[in-house]
Amino acid sequence: MLPTEQRNSNPLHRLARFVTQKAAAMMFNLEAEEIYQVERWANIVYVHGKGVSRFVSYADFPPVLGVASPSDRDFAFWRRRWKQRQQEQQKKQAPLFWLQFFAQQFHQSPTETILYNWGELIGTIKFAFGEGVLQELREKYCYEKALLSF
């Protein structure tokens, strides 16, 4: 699934559970198949893909289902990372690709239960989005729910 390698010298970062190949691909506007390697190191993630060879922060990855839910400590890591941004309005919000990532997860949800779980996760981290982005996610959620109801 995820071509990943763990360095044994140090324990992994607490946000390592959110590192996925899909998210790495979306981060760099690539297809998942174009990501060749994702290495999770103690404090940073190395992503190697088609035309990309970069180190990225664990706090750049959005939360996912199937692992422990985000906690207050995770929120603190994300907020600290966002404060490092150059543009003032982005200092309190998640990267824009998170919107695309969650919209894709809504679209790919095979059942209403899984879609609901994604919606619950968004509710948990709604602080990460501006009102406009949050409204757009709500609309995408409602649209996908209507499609699954048929």
Concatenated DSSP letters of 3-32: -EEE-SSSPPPGGGGG--HHHHHHHTT--G
Taking the C-alpha atoms of residue 51 and residue 53, their distance in angstroms, rounded to an integer, is 7
Amino acid identity of residue 41, one-letter, is W
What sign does the CA torsion over 56, 60, 104, 64 have?
Answer: positive
Tell me the pLDDT tens digit for each residue of 37-51. 999 998 999 999 999
Taking the C-alpha atoms of residue 127 and residue 115, their distance in angstroms, rounded to an integer, is 20
Would you state the pLDDT for residue 12? 84
Q: What region does 2 belong to: left with phi over 0, alpha with psi -120 to 50, or beta?
A: beta
Q: Which two tokens stand for residue 42?
A: 């103690």
Would you state the pLDDT for residue 10? 63
Tell me the pLDDT tens digit for each residue of 97-132. 999 999 999 999 999 999 999 999 999 999 999 999
Percent of the chain having pLDDT more than 90?
Answer: 81
Helix 112-124 vs helix 131-149: crossing angle, to nearest 10: 170
Average pLDDT over residues 67-81: 94
